[in-house]
Amino acid sequence: MQIFVANGTHQHIAFNYRLPEMTSFRCLEIKAGRQAKFPEMLNDSEVSMLVAQLERYGAVSVPDVKHITIPRTLIYSVDRKIASEKIDEARRKDEEARQEIAAQKLEEAGMAQFPTDDYMAGATKSTSLEVNQLGDQGQENVKGGVDAEITVTKTAGRKTTGKRKG
């Protein structure tokens, strides 16, 4: 039996593997958007071991391409070449997964810039301001305006000094 592996990412991948009778690792280079074939003819137990290694690395079988949710995904097929449409679909899914992770990391980075509400609750003083809206199109002054909450801390912008912890 033979195993075909396709690279559904935009990066070249060098897949290191080992079969049971081998004492050293072998490397199969799979270029971005291409497929490669393992050079060995394999029996059933070797196929299952190699498939397990592929899945540990993040590979999915051809029918499962639609379920790709993580980047760096390889696609494998036993005894059958992989259609270019499936490789293209895997590349689209890989890109979507990367965009999702990037958006999540960006959101987490933005949240790291601001203290949490629990932290700020102890240092917050609340006030309500009355805003008079000026009518520039013949309207009269309107009272009532906007309620706003302003947070001021004594340590805002101050450089901290002291001993390091840890």
Residue 125 domain flag: no
Which tokens is 158 given? 């101050």
List CB contacts of 154: < 8 A, sequence separation 6 or more.
Answer: 123
Quote the pTM value: 0.60
pLDDT band at 111 (very low <50, low <70, confident <90, very high): low
Q: Which amino acid makes up residue 86?
A: K
- Rounded Cα distance between 65 and 89, Å, is 7
- Please name the residue that has the structure tokens 């840890």: 166
| Residue at 153 is within a domain | no
Q: Looking at residue 23, what is its pLDDT?
A: 83
Question: Using alpha carbons only, how large is the chain's radius of gyration in Å?
Answer: 29
In a domain, 127, yes or no: no
End-to-end CA distance of the chain: 57
Are the C-beta atoms of 73 and 86 separated by less than 8 Å?
A: no
Q: What's residue 58's pLDDT?
A: 82
CB crowding 38-64: b at 16 or more within 10 Å, else e: beeebeeebbeebbeebeeeebbebee
User: What are the start-end ranges of the E strands in the chain?
Assistant: 3-7, 13-17, 26-30, 35-37, 60-61, 74-78
Lowest-confidence segment of 59-63, 68-72, 97-101, 123-127 by average pLDDT: 123-127
User: Is residue 81 a part of any domain in this protein?
Assistant: yes
Domain assignment present for 159: no
Say what the pLDDT of residue 106 is: 82
* Cβ proximity of 35 and 90 under 8 Å: no
Assigned domain for 162 exists: no
The model's pLDDT over 112-134, given as tens digits with 9 standing for 90+, comes to 666 555 555 555 555 555 555 55
The domain tally of the chain equals 1
Is 133 within a domain? no
Average pLDDT score over residue span 16-40: 88
Asked whether the predicted pLDDT for residue 10 surpasses 70, the reply is: yes
pLDDT tier at 3, thresholds 50, 70, 90: very high
Residue 165 lies in a domain: no
Q: Which of 33, 47, 97, 89 is nearest to 64 (CA)?
A: 89
| Residues facing residue 76 across a β-bridge | 5, 61
Residues 6+ positions from 51 with CB-CB distance below 8 Å = 3, 76, 78
Q: How many other C-beta atoms are found inside a 10 Å radius of the C-beta of residue 89?
A: 17
| Domain region containing 97 | 3-113
